[in-house]
Chain A
């Protein structure tokens, strides 16, 4: 040992070996190990998905990708609640995904981040829900393929309603009253998500207003919406609302575990709820706000986009066409085998037997009767501005009219940047 430590030759060799290894490592890093699976240049694609809560979804997406022979497709399954931020940041780098799921937003198109998919959608355009086609179209070009439509509404326990002798609410005042009657020392009346933002668009629609006008001007700053915000504040401070639940609104756990009698959630959670509660589940839309309003349902969902700045745009488009236009079997599997979603393709929706009867069929009915689809001009920055209104008015008790005015200014600035 001492001989070794006294030898300059050995020390030098050790240093050389270490530097050699470092150099080799560096050269290796310059090769193909970039996180993508196998293949030479041009036949590897990366797709981004947010983590779905339903068991089996990640495996399903990877199974579809593996079945594709045109390229090696690897999947980044993004966990956590900030998929948007991770996606936006990744799109600015060289490691941006080639294909990603998101909601239609004009900002992505204006900044040249998503590719025009008209050529792959046009041949089957008529088979899609036309509201979905509209929400993905700018200047006659279609920029994304809808994968699933996700109606969101209130779920409730009919047995608890019967016990409390209350009816399904049709107005926001009734929802507040019903929540008070349903609340016991074990269970809260209603759950609208921990920060109440999931219902913010419904509050606007149910008050007879809209996020934007047809010619892209702010349309949410009305007296009806301000009144609705005040009513929500009443519900928030009543002690009848479930707040601070360990899982958020999109997860049915709070409802299943008996923490709340009513929960705002999506149709995707129906199978899990039915498994836990059997037939003791009902659904109703977001109730009317004020006299000029109308009940509303959010028709959320996810769409596939191709990164226009990616290295493999054509290969990515081919993959999107193969999976989300040609492979109807996979599309039905994705929409109905895990959580329940409505397939945006009419031909698939008509044959989806799981959505034909019972509660899922009722969900489809509410979707058709009260649904509001994505507005491509309503961007993430605008959504974030309304998030602040919900936080400041409902959770913090600021003046709704002043907050709506401030929000309108922010949204107006965004609109001017987008539409001039």
Chain B
């Protein structure tokens, strides 16, 4: 008891010391602390993001082949070249097709996984980890596994072995655009890689739905299953779904690794980033045209993101909906 009393006395003493040594000068300045912790990131942002963007805009107005310090000003010539380049325009179509496949598929698949895992009574953590694990795998490594082991064109590839059991001849999944089997390979690898992450987001959202809503619905006669999902679960996941779709769309715009590794020396199935990589860093080393393409693509992403935010209400408060 006395010990407790002693401790109780000792604690205010600490506060007294603090009162006797008030914070002064820079140490007391919240502005200093703000800059102390923010400055490294801000410097990184300026050096590695804003300066390259500025340099890229500068390069886009110059003839810059095999150099990043050009002197030959060409005005909007690079923009004209990029906007009339069939390959670049096709890459935007490729992206649209890819986004149309991957965004709804990943949304539905990860939501389905979340619903399944959330209903599990046993081994929930195990399955959550199993489905989340592919998120840790590199896109390059996964693409090579898909290309060399699962979807290679020879008889001992996994996919060809399976279809071989049904008497179907080997398919060269990635060799030809007709039929476009390459989409199956690309969509499945990305689905495998990113569904686990979005599943975790949906699980968190599902666990935030009040049980009372389901109990009230049950009392009102709602049938468990589709009816409950349709009228309670799905509306309650609206905010998460909006965020997930936005993230998926941004990720689709950033698609590079799997396309680059799966479809080498193809003229089809090239998303904008691969096309720009080829333009600027490929055999042509045309940094001027590549930079112009990057500026065009950045503007396009901004417009699409703003439009999507407006349509889906992302970032608006509940009252704004």
Contact assessment for A396 and B267 in the assembled complex, using a CB-CB cutoff below 8 Å: yes
Report chain A residues within 8 Å CB of B285: 88
Stretch at the interface among A322-330, A364-372, A384-392: A384-392
Interface string of B254-290 (1 = CB under 8 A from A): 0000000000111110000000001001111100000
**Which residue of chain B has its CB nearest to the CB of A414?**
B284
B175 contact set on A, CB distance < 8 A: 194-195, 243-244, 395
Of the candidates A254, A381, A391, A396, which one forms a contact with B284 in the assembled complex, judged by CB atoms under 8 Å apart? A381
Give per-residue flags for B134-169: 1 if the beta carbon is below 8 A from chain A beta carbons, else 0.
000000000000011101111101000000000001
Kindly count the residue-residue contacts between A and B in the assembled complex, taking CB atoms under 8 Å apart: 86
Q: Which of A6, A246, A392 contacts B148 (CB 8 A)?
A: A246
Is B298 located at the chain interface by the 8 A CB criterion?
no
Interface presence of B66 (CB below 8 A): yes
Please encode chain A, from 248 to 266, with 1 for each CB lying within 8 Å of some chain B CB and 0 for all others.
0000001000010000000
Which A residues are in CB contact (< 8 Å) with B282? 85, 384
Q: Which residues on A sit within 8 Å (CB–CB) of B66?
A: 88, 92, 107, 111, 113
The reply to whether B67 and A246 contact each other, CB–CB distance below 8 Å, is no
B172 near A383 with CB under 8 A, answer no
User: Which residue of A6, A195, A245, A395 is within 8 Å of B152 (Cβ)?
Assistant: A245
Q: Is B319 an interface residue (CB 8 A)?
A: no
* Given known contacts A186-B155, A243-B176, A395-B175, A384 and B266 CB-to-CB distance under 8 angstroms: no
Residue ID in chain B nearest A391 by CB atoms: B267
A113 to B175, CA, bound (A): 36
A417 and B153 alpha carbons, distance in the complex (Å): 41
Which chain A positions have C-beta within 8 A of B155? Answer: 186, 259
Which residues of chain B have C-beta atoms less than 8 A from A111's C-beta?
65-67
Contact B268 A396 (CB under 8 A): yes
B174 at the interface (CB under 8 A from A): yes
The digit string for B197-222, where 1 denotes a CB below 8 A from any CB of A, is 00000000000000000000000000
B20 contacts A by Cβ under 8 Å: no
Please measure, in the bound complex, the distance between the C-alpha atom of A245 and the C-alpha atom of B153, giving whole angstroms: 6
Residue from A246, A380, A395, A417 in contact with B154 in the complex, judged by beta carbons closer than 8 Å? A246
Q: Which residues of B contact A417 (CB under 8 A)?
A: 65
- Whole-angstrom CA separation of A380 from B66 in the bound complex: 12
The answer to whether B283 and A381 touch across the interface, beta carbons within 8 angstroms, is yes
Q: Considering the chains assembled together, what is the distance between the CA atoms of A388 and B148 in angstroms?
A: 23
Q: What separation, in Å, do the CA atoms of A14 and B266 have in the docked complex?
A: 55
- Taking CB atoms, residues of chain A closer than 8 Å to B154 are 242, 244-246, 254, 259
Interface positions of B from 71 to 115, Cβ below 8 Å from A: none
Q: Flag A263-305 by CB within 8 Å of B: 1 or 0 each.
A: 0000000000000000000000000000000000000000000
A162, CB-defined interface residue at 8 Å: no
Q: Which residues of B contact A391 (CB under 8 A)?
A: 265-268
7 A-B contact pairs sorted by A residue (CB < 8 Å): A85-B282, A195-B266, A243-B172, A244-B153, A244-B157, A384-B278, A387-B265
- Interface set of A (CB-CB < 8 Å, partner B): 6, 8, 81, 84-85, 88-89, 92, 107, 111, 113, 186, 194-195, 197, 236, 239, 242-246, 254, 259, 379-381, 383-384, 387-388, 390-392, 395-397, 417
